[in-house]
Amino acid sequence: MSTYSPNGVRQLPATVNEPVRSYAPGSPERASLQSRLKAMEGDRPDIAVVVNGEEIRRGKATNAVSPHKHQHVTATWHHATADDVRRAIDTGKEAWKEWSEWTWEERAAVFLKAADLLAGPWRDTINAATMLGQSKTVYQSEIDAACEMTDFFRFNVAFARELCAEQPISGPGMWNQSEYRALEGFVYAVTPFNFTAIGGNLPTAPALMGNVVLWKPASSAMLSAWYTLQLLHEAGLPKGVINFVPGDPALISDIALKHRDLAGVHFTGSTGVFNSMWSTIGQNMANYRSYPRIVGETGGKDFILAHPSADVQAFAVACIRGAFEYQGQKCSAASRIYVPKSLWPEVKARMVAMIDEIKMGDVNDFSNFMGAVIDQKAFDRITGYLADAKANATIIAGGKADGSTGWFVGPTLVETKDPNYRLMCEEIFGPILTAYVYDDAKWDETLRVVDATSPYALTGAVFAQDRAAVKQAHAALRHAAGNFYINDKCTGAVVGQQPFGGARASGTNDKAGSKLNLTRWVNARTVKETFVPAKDYKYPHMG
Ligand code: NAD
> Mean pLDDT, the chain, as a whole number?
97
Can you give the pLDDT at residue 1? 55
Can you give the pLDDT at residue 143? 98
For range 375-388, the mean pLDDT: 98
How far apart are the C-alpha atoms of 191 and 215, rounded to whole Å?
Answer: 8
For the chain, the domain total comes to 2
231 and 380 housed in the same domain: no
The answer to the question of residue 204 being in a domain is yes
The closest residue, in CA terms, to atom 26 on ligand 1 is 192
pLDDT digits (tens, 9 = 90+) for 423-465: 999 999 999 999 999 999 999 999 999 999 999 999 999 999 9
Ligand 1 contacts CB of residue 178 (under 6 A): no
315 and 406 housed in the same domain: yes
Which of 297, 325, 415, 427 is labelled catalytic? 297
Extended strands (E) in 377-530: 394-397, 401-402, 408-409, 412-416, 432-438, 456-457, 459-463, 483-486, 503-504, 522-530
Can you give the pLDDT at residue 2? 59
The answer to the question of residue 315 being in a domain is yes
List the one residue out of 528, 526, 524 whose CA is nearest residue 175: 528
List the one residue out of 378, 376, 431 whose CA is nearest residue 70: 376
338 and 232 housed in the same domain: no
Ligand 1 contacts CB of residue 256 (under 6 A): no
Whole-prediction pTM value? 0.98
Count of CB atoms within 10 A of residue 412's CB? 26
How far does the centroid of ligand 1 lie from the alpha carbon of residue 129, in Å?
A: 20
pLDDT digits (tens, 9 = 90+) for 213-255: 999 999 999 999 999 999 999 999 999 999 999 999 999 999 9
pLDDT above 70 as % of the chain? 99
The answer to the question of residue 430 being in a domain is yes
275 and 307 housed in the same domain: no
The answer to the question of residue 502 being in a domain is no
- For 173: left if phi > 0, alpha if psi spans -120 to 50, otherwise beta; the answer is left
188 and 72 housed in the same domain: yes
How far does the centroid of ligand 1 lie from the alpha carbon of residue 191, in Å?
A: 7
The answer to the question of residue 532 being in a domain is no
161 and 286 housed in the same domain: yes
Ligand 1 contacts CB of residue 308 (under 6 A): no
Asked if residues 287 and 258 have their Cβ atoms less than 8 Å apart, the reply is yes
Taking 90 as the threshold, does the pLDDT of residue 54 lie above it? yes
Q: pLDDT-derived band of residue 3, with 50, 70 and 90 as boundaries?
A: low
The closest residue, in CA terms, to atom 23 on ligand 1 is 269
List the one residue out of 320, 382, 327 whose CA is nearest residue 352: 320
440 and 512 housed in the same domain: no
How far apart are the C-alpha atoms of 430 and 413, rounded to whole Å?
Answer: 12
521 and 468 housed in the same domain: no
163 and 272 housed in the same domain: yes
- Report the CATH number that the domain containing residue 159 is assigned in CATH: 3.40.605.10
The answer to the question of residue 25 being in a domain is no
Residue 297 annotated to the active site: yes
pLDDT above 90 as % of the chain? 98
Ligand 1 contacts CB of residue 298 (under 6 A): yes
SS (H, E, C) 315-343: HHHHHHHHHHHHHHCCCCCEEEEEEECCC
Count of CB atoms within 10 A of residue 349's CB? 12
Residue 425 annotated to the active site: no
How far does the centroid of ligand 1 lie from the alpha carbon of residue 272, in Å?
A: 9
The answer to the question of residue 533 being in a domain is no
How far apart are the C-alpha atoms of 228 and 242, rounded to whole Å?
Answer: 11
Ligand 1 contacts CB of residue 483 (under 6 A): no
For range 470-495, the mean pLDDT: 98
Taking 60 as the threshold, does the pLDDT of residue 80 lie above it? yes
Can you give the pLDDT at residue 242? 98
- Report the CATH number that the domain containing residue 437 is assigned in CATH: 3.40.309.10
Which of 105, 331, 427, 490 is labelled catalytic? 331
pLDDT digits (tens, 9 = 90+) for 142-195: 999 999 999 999 999 999 999 999 999 999 999 999 999 999 999 999 999 999
The answer to the question of residue 112 being in a domain is yes
Q: How many CA atoms lie within 13 A of 235 on its CB side?
A: 29
Can you give the pLDDT at residue 6? 80
Ligand 1 contacts CB of residue 277 (under 6 A): yes
383 and 292 housed in the same domain: no
- Ligand 1 pocket check: which of 149, 194, 498 to mutate, most ligand atoms within 8 Å of Cβ? 194
40 and 67 housed in the same domain: yes
512 and 476 housed in the same domain: no
Ligand 1 contacts CB of residue 429 (under 6 A): yes
Q: Which residues of 121-143 are buried (b: 16+ CB within 10 A; e: fewer)?
A: ebbbbbbbbbbbbbbbbbbbbbb
How far does the centroid of ligand 1 lie from the alpha carbon of residue 297, in Å?
A: 9
Domain range enclosing 244: 32-298+507-527
